[in-house]
Amino acid sequence: MKRFLVCVALIALIPCLWETGSVDAASGKKQRATLTQKMAAPNSADFVGSETCATCHADVANRFSTNPHSRLALMHNGKGATCESCHGPGKAHVDSGGDITKIFRFSQASAQQIDATCLGCHEGAHPDFERSPHGKAGLSCTSCHSVHSFASEASLLKVSQPTLCYTCHTDVKPAFAQPFHHKVDEGLMQCSDCHDPHGTFEDKQLKSTPDQNAVCTKCHTETAGPFVYEHPVIKTEGCTTCHSPHGSPNARLLNVSNINTLCLQCHSGTNMGAFPHAVSPTGPVHNQAAQYVACTNCHTQIHGSNASPQFFK
């Protein structure tokens, strides 16, 4: 009887499922039609060519030879990336005697329009930008990049790193003035070595990697492992549990000045519930009230060991 009722219920659902599927299919077709319409190629007769643009915009055209996009302009018999690839067909603009409303101007366009234009070519390299914190904040490609007035040829940045990043991230800048810091201000590192400004699936726009610590261990290879005896907190909480990645007043970019205090944040009797893997130190050698030597004097291989589960050398 139960099987019969289940079958009847399923049969009753079929029309609903069919109707839902039909609605979804129709919606998908409509979206695809809209996308096809947007992607439809403009009339080739509406293009005038970069040579025509140069008759009025000679200053921009002369500087364009130093632009990375210029190499694309030489492709396909000069029909690669040209002025009209970004600014749209120029015939109406030329025929009107230079009417600026007849051409796409980035300075007057919305962030969505600018991003759609740039991502028309660069979407494969930056597929997550719209979902990134920068994209959600309403920044556009031209907030950081400039095709015609750039300071860094490699990425067409308006201002070189880290100055460009500091214009918004003023809260991060003081960290690199700490006594111990990553050498970003000195030019030995860049913000984009660790962060992807165009967006990732990681917090803080960290570059996506299978291992959450790989952003750190690509330079700090001695801590990468794999180890026979691993420090669990490194795999579960990450490097930033103990270290401040931008800068710190403490050596080795530690979060606190006293190593024992740092270790006891996990390895104490009061925290055993939160960190069941953390063994609480016992015995007179571990009497922290007597101000004995730092934990790492004995537990030297604190990131992991191939010889000792206590991380002895």
The per-residue pLDDT for range 243-292, each reduced to its tens digit, is: 999 999 999 999 998 888 888 888 876 655 555 555 666 655 666 555 66
pLDDT at 78: 55
Looking at the structure of the chain, the number of domains it has is 2
How far is the C-alpha of 52 from the C-alpha of 93, rounded, in Å?
11
Q: Could you give the CA distance from residue 293 to residue 297 in angstroms, rounded to a whole number?
A: 7
Q: What is the pLDDT of residue 9?
A: 47
For residues 8-28, give the mean pLDDT.
42
Domain annotation covers residue 177:
yes
Q: Are residues 200 and 222 in the same domain?
A: no
Retrieve residue 191's tokens: 């913000």
Q: Are 72 and 80 in contact (CB under 8 A)?
A: yes
Average pLDDT, the chain: 80
Examine residue 275 and state whether it is found in any structural domain, yes or no: yes
> Is 163 part of a structural domain of the chain?
yes
Q: Please check whether residues 201 and 262 belong to one and the same domain.
A: no
250 and 162 inside one domain: no
Residues 220, 196: one domain? no
pLDDT of 19 over the 70 cut: no
Of 185, 205, 225, the residue at which a domain comes to its end is 205
CA 179 from chain centre, in angstroms, equals 27
- Assigned domain for 245 exists: yes
**Structural domain that includes position 234:** 214-305
Average pLDDT estimate for 94-122: 92
| Last-in-domain residue among 155, 187, 205 | 205
pTM for this predicted structure: 0.74
